Amino acid sequence: MIIMGPVEWLFDFWQFLEFYSDSVINATVRHLTLSFGAILAGIFVAVPLGILIANRAKLARVFLSITSIVQTIPTLAFLALVLPLLGVGVLPALVVLFLYSLLPILRNTYTGIRNIDAAYLEAGLGMGMNSRQLLFMVKLPLALPVIIAGIRLSTVYIISWATLSALIGAGGLGDLILTGIQTYDLNFILAGTIPTAVLALLAGSLINRLELSLTPRGLRTQG
């Protein structure tokens, strides 16, 4: 790295960004596509699955331990393991990120529903709700804050982990960082790191807001 003053460096970085603006924007778009594709798929699978296993203790143990084992596998190793099956590129990255997104969402949906005070369920049943009404009028509204917290956690992590998909040629902001490592160029590294951090922060606070507006008012006072 060439030693220079902060002002000069900022100027230099700015020029760099101007020159590479297209690649940064493309990488950001790709990064978002990968992350949100994985998260959306994760939500569509994990929320219904969490609802399903909430009443079935054995099944719950099986699914929760499978997903938590999946979670421990190092990302690079996981990406590598799906390579021979799915080849390089976007698909294997999406699959791996999707699998990683499952655990927090699944676990929070499950615990969110499990932790609902039995009194509410008894009251609902006793008043003549059928199981669908109990789910939509009682269980889901009460578990919603916990489920969304799981989605937020998942999103923030997935945006961070998606940088690694560059290693299997899926692109995204990790590409810029990788180039920076290979060419020993701080500009490239920062051009990948800063947007990733901003995306993660933005997504986190956006979901926080969503959570607040979706939490029924009667639950907010409880925190």
What are the residues binding other proteins (CB under 8 A)?
Answer: 1, 68-69, 72-78, 80-81, 83-84, 88, 104, 111, 117, 119-120, 122-130, 133, 137-138, 141-142, 153, 156, 160-161, 163-164, 166-168, 174, 177-178, 180-181, 184, 186, 189, 192-193, 196-197, 200-201, 216-219, 221-222
Residue closer to other proteins (CB basis): 50 or 180? 180
CB of 76 to other proteins, least distance (A): 4
CB of 186 to other proteins, least distance (A): 5
Residue closer to other proteins (CB basis): 7 or 127? 127
CB of 162 to other proteins, least distance (A): 8
Residue closer to other proteins (CB basis): 109 or 111? 111
Q: CA-CA-CA-CA torsion for 166, 172, 176, 178, nearest 10 degrees?
A: -10
Three-state secondary structure readout of 8-66: HHHHHHHHHHHHHHHHHHHHHHHHHHHHHHHHHHHHHHHHHHHHHHCCCHHHHHHHHHH
Are the C-beta atoms of residues 190 and 173 closer than 8 Å to each other? no
Give the angle subtended at the CA of 102 by the CAs of 99 and 108, to the nearest 5°: 165
